[in-house]
């Protein structure tokens, strides 16, 4: 089965849409392997990649803009099915000899299309039916290229979908990849399975098999070091490597003094104990906290933490013996970020916690998860038998609680935040929200406010509560946590965390705010 894993794959050419990653996620969800590449990928490279189908993503440009991203005409002569989505459809039209024009009636948001043709693309949707779809375009198709037929219309788009059934080229003016197009996934699956003939062979168990084998070959008889944080990415990376090379893997957990309550102990117990991984705890709290003394600037905090981490890690790794490789839990979104030509993917903050390490230590990088999305990593974790608590763990920033303490980081303030944060996690878990939201945590603010406790006036600290919903951390919305849950969190924090007399809820979305406060 494993040989099939990458055989039935799709290529997504990125024209800079905010939804490009979403297309890839949908394709993977259907168990078909796919990769995102820039729109101008060379023809020979496309042939080498040998996809069963090509998807042209949407994008912010207009085909008539100066410097608009276009496509090599040869892509349409490869005898590979092509699906153009929104801007992708306009590019297809423009290149194949049709006409695109700027419309007065832009369509944004929900629209209704009526299906006009029994195309394979709409198989199972019913002809002559009206369907709700998500539109977001300013241009429209005025004249289709030769050989194309109208597959669907909407009020403002005479060509809401089109297709050339002989050449298997299709275009959609709407976005099938978003949840607001209820039948979108069906349409994508029709493209993948019926039109391209893909088989759903991308499964996480075959990924584990293949990866463990490949890691064994890649590492040979060398040694690998890996930084553990207790997060799902580094845990899965370490367990995969441990399966492949056993005790030639050494892991290092740096306690920077900025971890959450009980975190270091939990990681040591699970991986050092139960999994029998060669895991070394370096307690460097004093060193980190001394360096952070009096530092209030967020960027400076991050720089100091990054620098100290590299030094501590390097010293420990040397002490453990010569390693040739460094394993990192880099995920596919980080990889896309570095290949995408422009667009929103380029604007995400990159958070490489161990940035600089490989160069400093002259190590080769091993990144077994670089093809995976977060939800796939979680599936791999489950496949490897990791506890659900860990597999479903929310993301936690490398610089730890330092970026959740606004102002100077002191032991006293860390302790206050740790206690408040533990209460937040406990209550969010009890309300069955922990796995539903993207992140939920406490922040300690650098202000004090007046309160009253018993007969006494207090003048104490403020905790902010941040709970957000998100798919990938690129955008996020504040969660509509039930008032009762907010109330319990606030009560418990104010009653049990000494030094805090006020809790506030952060109701900002990203953008324009970020998820973390620093
Ligand atoms: P922001 O605050 O930029 O965060 O909206 C987006 C996501 O990234 C996490 N984050 C980090 N992760 N090292 C990390 O590993 C970091 O320095 C870092 N800063 C932010 C954040 O928790 C959120 O999930």
* Across 45-50, average pLDDT: 96
Cβ atoms of 113 and 133 within 8 Å: the answer is: yes
Confidence of residue 165 (pLDDT cuts 50, 70, 90): very high
Atom of ligand 1 nearest to the CA of 395: 24
**pLDDT value for 513:** 95
Which residue's C-alpha comes closest to atom 4 of ligand 1?
515
Q: How far apart are CA 10 and CA 33, in angstroms?
A: 6
- Tell whether the model's pLDDT for residue 146 goes beyond 50: yes
3-state secondary structure 198-221: CCCCCCHHHHHHHHHHHHHHHHCC
Helix ranges, 354-446 (H): 357-361, 374-383, 388-391, 411-430
- Establish whether residue 397 lines the binding site of ligand 1, counting it when its CB lies within 6 angstroms of any ligand atom: yes
- Establish whether residue 353 lines the binding site of ligand 1, counting it when its CB lies within 6 angstroms of any ligand atom: yes
Query: How many helices (H) and strands (E) in the chain?
Result: 15, 18
* Across 366-382, average pLDDT: 94
- Tell whether the model's pLDDT for residue 114 goes beyond 90: yes
Tens digit of pLDDT for each residue in 249-278? 999 999 999 999 999 999 999 999 999 999
Same fold, 2-195 and 410-505: no
- Tell whether the model's pLDDT for residue 16 goes beyond 50: yes
- Tell whether the model's pLDDT for residue 4 goes beyond 70: no
Say how many Å lie between the CA of residue 397 and the centre of ligand 1: 5
Q: What is the pTM of this model?
A: 0.86
The arrangement of secondary structure in 204-391, i.e. its CATH architecture, is 3-Layer(aba) Sandwich (3.40)
- Stated as kind and residue range, the H or E segment containing 437 is none
- Tell whether the model's pLDDT for residue 511 goes beyond 80: yes
Own/partner pairs, 491-496, CB within 8 angstroms, 24+ separation: 492/423, 492/427, 493/419, 493/420, 493/423, 493/424, 493/442, 493/463, 496/419, 496/423
Say how many Å lie between the CA of residue 249 and the centre of ligand 1: 27
Q: 511 preceded by cis ω (within 30°)?
A: yes
Residue (of 161, 148, 57) closest to 113 by Cα position: 161
Confidence of residue 123 (pLDDT cuts 50, 70, 90): very high
Q: Percentage of the chain with pLDDT > 70? A: 95
Q: How far apart are CA 166 and CA 299, in angstroms?
A: 56
**pLDDT value for 129:** 80
Dmax of the chain from CA atoms? 83
Residue 238: strand, helix, or coil:
helix
Helix ranges, 9-65 (H): 20-29, 43-49
Q: How far apart are CA 245 and CA 218, in angstroms?
A: 10
Within a 13 Å sphere around the CA of 311, how many CA atoms are in the beta-carbon half?
Answer: 11
Residue found under tokens 């050339």: 164
Say how many Å lie between the CA of residue 241 and the centre of ligand 1: 25
**pLDDT value for 3:** 46
Q: How far apart are CA 18 and CA 38, in angstroms?
A: 14
What are the CA-CA distances from residue 118 to residues 55, 166, 171 (Å)?
21, 14, 15
- Establish whether residue 81 lines the binding site of ligand 1, counting it when its CB lies within 6 angstroms of any ligand atom: no
**pLDDT value for 141:** 95
Tens digit of pLDDT for each residue in 298-316? 999 999 999 999 999 999 9
Tens digit of pLDDT for each residue in 185-210? 999 999 999 999 999 999 999 999 99
Across all residues in the chain, what is the average pLDDT?
92
Residue 379: strand, helix, or coil:
helix
Say how many Å lie between the CA of residue 351 and the centre of ligand 1: 6
**pLDDT value for 127:** 61
What are the extents of the domains in the chain? Answer: 2-195, 204-391, 410-505
Q: How far apart are CA 121 and CA 82, in angstroms?
A: 12
Ligand 1, from 298, 299, 348, 395: best to mutate by most atoms within 8 Å of Cβ?
395
Say how many Å lie between the CA of residue 516 and the centre of ligand 1: 6
- Establish whether residue 473 lines the binding site of ligand 1, counting it when its CB lies within 6 angstroms of any ligand atom: yes
- Active site amino acids: 86, 175, 177
- Tell whether the model's pLDDT for residue 1 goes beyond 90: no
The dihedral formed by the CA atoms of 485, 488, 489 and 495, expressed in degrees to the nearest 10 = 180
**pLDDT value for 339:** 56
Which residue's C-alpha comes closest to atom 18 of ligand 1?
397
- Tell whether the model's pLDDT for residue 84 goes beyond 90: yes
Say how many Å lie between the CA of residue 121 and the centre of ligand 1: 39
- Tell whether the model's pLDDT for residue 107 goes beyond 80: no
| Domain 2-195: top CATH class | alpha beta
Confidence of residue 354 (pLDDT cuts 50, 70, 90): low
Tens digit of pLDDT for each residue in 380-397? 999 999 999 999 999 999
**pLDDT value for 338:** 60
* Across 23-38, average pLDDT: 95
| Domain 410-505: top CATH class | alpha beta
- Establish whether residue 328 lines the binding site of ligand 1, counting it when its CB lies within 6 angstroms of any ligand atom: no
- Establish whether residue 98 lines the binding site of ligand 1, counting it when its CB lies within 6 angstroms of any ligand atom: no
Cβ atoms of 99 and 141 within 8 Å: the answer is: yes
Residue (of 231, 210, 186) closest to 351 by Cα position: 231
- Establish whether residue 347 lines the binding site of ligand 1, counting it when its CB lies within 6 angstroms of any ligand atom: no
- Establish whether residue 329 lines the binding site of ligand 1, counting it when its CB lies within 6 angstroms of any ligand atom: no
């Amino acid at each position: 089965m494993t040989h099939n894993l990458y055989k039935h794959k799709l290529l997504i050419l990125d024209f800079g849409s905010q939804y490009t990653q979403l297309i890839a996620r949908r394709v993977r969800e259907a168990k078909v392997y796919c990769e995102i590449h820039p729109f101008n990928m060379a023809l020979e490279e496309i042939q080498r990649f040998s996809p069963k189908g090509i998807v042209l993503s949407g994008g912010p440009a207009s085909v008539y803009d100066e410097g608009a991203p276009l496509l090599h005409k040869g892509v349409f002569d490869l005898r590979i099915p092509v699906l153009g989505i929104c801007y992708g459809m306009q590019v297809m039209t423009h290149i194949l000899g049709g006409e695109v024009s700027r419309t007065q009636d832009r369509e944004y948001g929900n629209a209704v299309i009526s299906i006009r043709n029994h195309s394979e693309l709409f198989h199972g949707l019913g002809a002559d039916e009206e369907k709700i779809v998500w539109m977001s375009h300013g241009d429209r198709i005025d004249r289709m290229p030769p050989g194309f037929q109208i597959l669907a219309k909407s009020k403002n788009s005479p060509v809401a979908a089109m297709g050339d059934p002989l050449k298997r080229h299709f275009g959609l003016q709407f976005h099938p990849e978003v949840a607001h197009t209820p039948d979108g996934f069906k349409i994508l699956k029709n493209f993948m399975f019926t039109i391209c003939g893909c088989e759903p062979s991308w499964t996480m168990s075959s990924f584990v098999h293949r990866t463990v084998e490949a890691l064994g070959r890649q590492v040979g008889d060398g040694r690998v070091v890996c930084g553990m944080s207790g997060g799902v990415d580094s845990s899965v990376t370490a367990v995969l490597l441990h399966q492949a090379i056993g005790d030639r893997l050494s892991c290092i957990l740096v306690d920077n003094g900025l971890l959450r309550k009980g975190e270091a102990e939990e990681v040591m117990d699970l991986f050092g104990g139960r999994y029998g991984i060669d895991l070394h705890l370096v307690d460097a709290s004093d060193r980190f906290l001394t360096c952070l003394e009096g530092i209030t600037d967020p960027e400076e905090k991050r720089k100091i933490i990054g620098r100290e981490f590299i030094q501590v890690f390097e010293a420990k790794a040397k002490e453990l013996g010569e390693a040739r490789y460094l394993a990192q839990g880099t995920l596919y979104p980080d990889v896309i970020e570095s290949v995408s030509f422009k667009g929103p993917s380029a604007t995400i903050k990159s958070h490489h916690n161990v940035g600089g390490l490989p160069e400093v230590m002259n190590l080769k990088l091993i990144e077994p998860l670089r093809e995976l999305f977060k939800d796939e990593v979680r599936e791999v974790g489950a496949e490897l038998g990791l506890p659900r608590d860990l597999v479903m763990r929310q993301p936690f920033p490398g610089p730890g609680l330092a970026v959740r303490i606004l102002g100077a980081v002191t032991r006293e303030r860390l302790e206050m935040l740790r206690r408040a944060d533990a209460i937040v996690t406990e209550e969010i878990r009890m309300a069955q929200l922990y796995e539903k939201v993207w992140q939920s945590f406490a922040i300690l603010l650098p202000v004090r406010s007046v309160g009253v406790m018993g007969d006494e006036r207090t003048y104490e600290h403020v905790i902010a509560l941040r709970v957000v919903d998100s798919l990938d951390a690129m955008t996020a919305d504040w969660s509509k946590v039930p008032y009762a849950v907010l109330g319990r969190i606030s009560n418990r924090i104010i009653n049990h965390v000494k030094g805090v007399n006020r809790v506030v809820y952060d109701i900002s979305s990203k953008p324009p705010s970020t998820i973390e406060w620093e």
